[in-house]
Amino acid sequence: MKKKFSLKHKILLGYMAITLILIVLAGWAIYNFMSLDESIHDIMVENYQSVIASEGMMEALERQDSAELIFIFGQQEEALEIFQKNQIEFMKHLSRAEDNITIEEENQIISNLNKDYQTYLDKFIQLRDLANEGNIEEMQNYYLTDIMPHFQKIKNETRDLLTVNQEHMREAQSKANSRATQAIYSSIIFSVIAIILAITLGIYISNKILKPINSLTETIKEIAGGNLEKKINITTKDEIGELAEEFNSMTERLKEYEQINISKLIDEKNKSEGIVKSISNPLIVTDDENRILLINPEAEKLFNLREKDVSGTHFLEIIKEEKIFDSITETLETGKEQKGQKNDVLEFTYNNKEHYYRITTNPVKDKKGETNLVVTILEDITHLKEVDQMKSEFVSMVSHEFRTPLTSMNMSINMLLEENTGEINEDQKELLEVAKDDTEHLNNLVDDLLDLSKIESGKIDLDFENVKVEEIFNSSINPFENKASDKNIDLIQKDVGDLKVYADLNKITWVITNLIGNALRYTTEGDKIVLDANKKGHKVYISVADTGEGIPKEYQHKIFEKFVRAGTDQDESSGTGLGLPIAKEIVEAHGGRIWVKSKEGEGSKFTFTLKLPK
């Protein structure tokens, strides 16, 4: 039967008109977003890198000044190493600032920094010449009269660079605020107009299609109430008319089953619902098409919805949580339970409190073994997160309190060993050497604890960029080439071509450097250490393998825990036991994971994953 003007056509016309309104509204919103993006770009991109570079230069300069003081007090080799290390850091940040000049005032400041810093380096060379002459008093006078004033001058220039960029960021922020205000008011006006048009159009369309639907609804309610004798009297030739005919046929069939005893089914359903509603954690039951079938009161509170309003609705239409949905779909595809890991923890705020949940999805299979339902439970781990945060804050606080006295103790011991305060005998010197080693070990432990606490608290700053793996390998191997050569150990870097990753160059270099350092500790003459990388799927697998003594099996599952040392690495002087936990946190902050395969006497292979370039 040919329809003159079907319900489908009526709705389609309504949708087209509303879509047109939405397109106009969306276009205006996009224009405002682009304007705001330009302003935000001024703040976050143009000046942020210069601010970071300025802070990095000031930090490196301060450490070089400390190195000069240590140099004057006699620890010349250690001071020279610290000075040169931070010289590299200063030049790196200065180069970054030169590459990111966006303000006219920056040109002169950076030019002055280049010239004055070179003079500062020349003065340090002069200080070294004075040290060779052995005149400590002349060295101290030279530092106070020549080096320190120049140090203050460079520091002030670096602070000027920081101030210029901060002022420019404030101006850009003011501009962004102005554009945001304009966007808000204009969007409100456009939204009001769009709403009025949509309501008017909706009323018009509804008058065309709702009258027969209302009639159909009233009749269906009577039938649903048990009046199976009721017939639907709709004679339209559109889809509603066809639906009425089918519904009348269905009513006839229902009469045939009216005598079936459904009380048992209702009892079983009530039992199941009672069990679900008694569970203290939020619970959601979905079918094989990801439609919500059942939620318990805890889930209703968490997501601020009611079961009767969302039953039968697709999960993502109601709950906009991709992590939960991904776990559900993976369970449907594999038919296996998905237990949430660290990176799968969700954070919600309700009742003015932060709550943390770990996702667990369980499949429900039919007689054929096919998964047709998924039960999702959100385990409340808020108390665990609070305990972990308290622990991290305590460790950070204690570590900060240790740093100052440890520095003072270390300087005092060094002065005593250098006999700056008077001669010491051999027994005293031996005791001081032991104390020096212990304070250095404690200093390393405090530094590692502060780094780990910062990473665990989510305060780590990651400067993501597309980086060549070869560049990462080169930066990681350089510090160990001499040490490996002295031990007659081959340090091998496999050819990785132009393979790139999306990562923070400095942080990932630190991870590989830590793994190489550990490998050197477990290897002896004739062994080798191999760095390699391969692309598999959507990830890059980076590995550091050695042919050393290997890791005992009983330690392999816990070497990424804090303060764990395996095998011969269990004496106090061998390390802090925090290197691998820090490496694990850094890798996980990149969205990857790290693991080890090892066999005693045959070596170890550490592997971690990173994302491909964006």
Report the b/e string of 309-325 with b at 16+ CB within 10 A.
ebeeeebeebbebeebb
Low-confidence ranges of the chain (pLDDT < 50): 1-4, 261-262, 265, 343, 569-573
Q: How far apart are CA 89 and CA 59, in angstroms?
A: 9
The residues near 71 (Cβ < 8 Å, ≥ 6 apart) are: 79, 80, 83, 127, 128, 131
Structure tokens given for 317 = 């239409």
Strands 603-611 and 594-599: antiparallel
The residues near 156 (Cβ < 8 Å, ≥ 6 apart) are: none
Strands 603-611 and 539-546: antiparallel
Structure tokens given for 156 = 């002030």
Among the listed residues 518, 513, 508, the one whose alpha carbon sits nearest the alpha carbon of residue 569: 518
Q: How far apart are CA 119 and CA 114, in angstroms?
A: 9
Among the listed residues 562, 554, 548, the one whose alpha carbon sits nearest the alpha carbon of residue 606: 548
DSSP string, 174-239: HHHHHHHHHHHHHHHHHHHHHHHHHHHHHHHHHHHHHHHHHHHHHHHHHHHTT-TT-------SSH
Report the amino acid identity of residue 374.
V
Determine the straight-line distance between the first and last CA of the chain, rounded to whole angstroms.
55
Q: How far apart are CA 403 and CA 401, in angstroms?
A: 6
Q: How far apart are CA 356 and CA 163, in angstroms?
A: 40
As to burial, measured by CB atoms within 10 angstroms (0-12 exposed, 13-18 middle, 19+ buried), residue 224 is: exposed
CB-side neighbour CA atoms (13 Å) of 309:
8
Tell me the residue length of the chain: 614
Kindly give the residue spans of alpha helices, DSSP state H, lying in 235-381: 239-256, 263-278, 297-303, 307-310, 315-318, 322-334
Structure tokens given for 136 = 């400590």
Q: What are phi and psi of 219, to 5 degrees?
A: -65, -40
Q: How far apart are CA 407 and CA 542, in angstroms?
A: 37
User: What pLDDT does residue 469 have?
Assistant: 95
Strands 371-380 and 490-493: unpaired
Q: How far apart are CA 612 and CA 499, in angstroms?
A: 9
User: What pLDDT does residue 67 have?
Assistant: 85
Would the CA dihedral through 416, 420, 421, 425 be positive or negative?
A: positive
Cβ–Cβ under 8 Å, residues 512 and 473: yes
Residue with tokens 């004496």: 571
Structure tokens given for 188 = 């409100």
What is the rounded (10 degree) CA torsion for 585, 577, 525, 546? -30
Q: How far apart are CA 432 and CA 385, in angstroms?
A: 43
User: What pLDDT does residue 570 have?
Assistant: 45
pTM: 0.40
Measured at the CA of 612, the angle between CA 606 and CA 614, to 5 degrees, comes to 150
Count of Cβ atoms closer than 10 Å to residue 104 Cβ? 8
User: What pLDDT does residue 388 have?
Assistant: 62
Kindly give the residue spans of alpha helices, DSSP state H, lying in 523-590: 553-556, 579-589
Cβ–Cβ under 8 Å, residues 86 and 70: no
